[in-house]
């Protein structure tokens, strides 16, 4: 085990906080401070490394500052190596535990590093106007049914039941047509962007207004082209709102199989 230890590191740390798995363990860790203002160090296993920092406490509250600190470390690492960002809040007992994780998932980590090397993640959300959606499905309340005091009301009752079912049927038909429209439109937007990406993920209508939520794994030198394509799409669909952020570490593309 090799350790890039900074002189500032205290020996009394209780926990190890894990930021990322990277390649090129020979590179020095960035000067970027870790959580609680500590110095980063790395734990190496063969040709990969875990970038970590000591923690005095076992609690890392997900405050905005802490979240951005975690992210800043990922981004500093991305400058000169392939990075598998680890989910916020991942702590291990000691260096040995970190070593064990690297050894256990070595093959997966190496393969995933290969996939993300030289690439970044771009995020896209596309909003459409709420009034394009049909009235949200009703609470499915049964319509008011006349009191069943006498047989003379039966006819009315049947009519109302029939009307209700027809209305529900129509509602369902509209809902499906609406969803199909959304799928088609999302596809028109997603397809040209996915062409510029090595991999992509997409979800349609997470909420009625959120037409498309997508992530794209893009070669660094394709980022500008990707942005231009988003702008071109924005011009093509002026009624839609395009929210594009990034480059991010490849959070959406580093799922490692767990047993």
Q: Interface with another protein by CB under 8 A: which residues? A: 15, 18, 21, 58-60, 62, 64, 67-68, 70-72, 75, 84-93, 97, 100-101, 121, 123, 125, 127, 206-207, 209-210, 227, 243-249, 251-252, 254-256, 258
Q: How far is the CB of 104 from another protein (least distance, A)?
A: 9
Alpha-carbon distance 236 to 239, whole Å? Answer: 9
CB 200 within 8 A of CB 214: yes
Q: How far is the CB of 154 from another protein (least distance, A)?
A: 45
Asked whether the CA dihedral 60, 246, 25, 104 is positive or negative, the reply is positive
Cis? peptide before 151, omega within 30° of 0: no
- Comparing CB distances to another protein, the nearer of 115 and 164 is 115
- Comparing CB distances to another protein, the nearer of 21 and 185 is 21
Q: 196: which DSSP letter?
A: T
CB 153 within 8 A of CB 146: yes
- Comparing CB distances to another protein, the nearer of 72 and 153 is 72
Cis? peptide before 183, omega within 30° of 0: no
Q: How far is the CB of 144 from another protein (least distance, A)?
A: 33
- Comparing CB distances to another protein, the nearer of 59 and 140 is 59
- Comparing CB distances to another protein, the nearer of 93 and 167 is 93
Q: How far is the CB of 217 from another protein (least distance, A)?
A: 12
Residue 127 pairs in a beta bridge with 210, 241
Q: How far is the CB of 151 from another protein (least distance, A)?
A: 50
Alpha-carbon distance 23 to 102, whole Å? Answer: 12
């Amino acid at each position: 085990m090799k350790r890039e230890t900074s002189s500032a590191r205290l020996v009394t740390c209780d926990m190890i906080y894990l930021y990322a798995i990277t390649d090129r363990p020979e590179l020095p860790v960035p000067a970027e401070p870790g959580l609680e203002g500590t110095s980063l160090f790395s734990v190496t296993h063969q040709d990969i490394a875990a970038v970590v920092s000591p923690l005095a406490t076992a609690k890392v509250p997900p405050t905005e500052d802490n979240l951005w600190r975690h992210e800043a470390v990922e981004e500093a690492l991305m400058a000169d190596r392939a990075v598998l960002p680890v989910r916020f809040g991942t702590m291990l007992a000691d260096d040995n535990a970190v070593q064990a994780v690297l050894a256990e998932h070595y093959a997966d980590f190496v393969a995933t590093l290969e996939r993300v090397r030289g690439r970044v993640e771009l995020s896209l959300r596309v909003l459409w106007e709420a009034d394009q959606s049909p009235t949200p499905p009703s609470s499915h309340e049964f319509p008011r049914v006349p009191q069943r005091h006498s047989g003379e009301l039966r006819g009315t009752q049947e009519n109302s039941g029939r009307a209700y079912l027809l209305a529900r049927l129509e509602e369902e038909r509209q809902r499906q047509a609406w969803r199909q429209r959304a799928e088609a439109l999302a596809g028109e937007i997603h397809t040209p962007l996915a062409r510029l990406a090595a991999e992509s993920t997409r979800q349609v209508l997470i909420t009625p207004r959120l037409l498309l939520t997508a992530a794209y794994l893009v070669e660094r030198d394709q980022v500008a082209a990707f942005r231009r394509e988003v702008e071109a799409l924005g011009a093509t669909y002026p009624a839609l709102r395009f929210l594009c952020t990034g480059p991010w570490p490849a959070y959406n593309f580093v799922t490692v199989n767990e047993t």
